[in-house]
Amino acid sequence: MIDFSQIDKLIHEKGRLAIMTLLYTRGEWAFQDLKAETGMSDGNLITHLRTLSQADYVSERRDSNGVRPKTSYSITKAGKKAFRTYVEVLEAIVKATTK
C-alpha cells in the first residue's frame, strides 16, 4: 500500500518539478537560461526558486564579474536526494496501481 503522504509536495508542483529536473539533469543553470527553458515569467520563476532555496533543495550563486551580474542555480545534495525519492515514490504509485 502506498502512503501518498510520502510525495514531496514541494517538488510535486509542475513548475518546481521542471526546475528540479533541469537542475538535477544538467548542473548549474543561469537564471535567464532556466527562464528560457521553462517558459516561466520572471516572477513565477523567482518565487519557485525561492521556495526551493528555503527548503535547501537549490543553491544560488551570484557572479558580479563582467558587464551584467549573473545569478546561477544548482541543486544541493539534499535536493538530489529529495528528487530521487520523489521519482521512486511516483514509480511505486504506478507499479502499485497497475497491478
Partner 1 sequence: MSNPNQAALEHLRIIRSLMERAHVYRALSAPAAMLGGLLAMAASGYLLWRGKSVAISGDTFLWVWLGILGISAIANMLLLARDAARRGQPVVSDGMRTASRTLAPPLLAGGVLGIGCVLHLDAVSLAATIWVICYGLALLASAGFSPKSLVWLGRIFFLTGLILFGLSFLSPLGWGFFDRAIATIIMGATFGFYHVVYATALFIRGTESTIPAIE
Bridge-based pairing of strands 29-30 and 70-75 is: antiparallel
- Asked if residues 79 and 37 have their Cβ atoms less than 8 Å apart, the reply is no
98 binds partner 1 (CB under 8 A): yes
> Is residue 27 within the footprint of partner 1 (CB under 8 A)?
yes
Instruction: With contacts defined by CB under 8 A, name the span among 31-39, 50-58, 73-81 that binds partner 1.
Output: 31-39
* Chain contacts with partner 1 (rule: CB under 8 A): 2, 4, 12, 14-15, 17-18, 21-22, 24-27, 30-33, 36-40, 70, 72, 87, 90-91, 93-94, 97-98
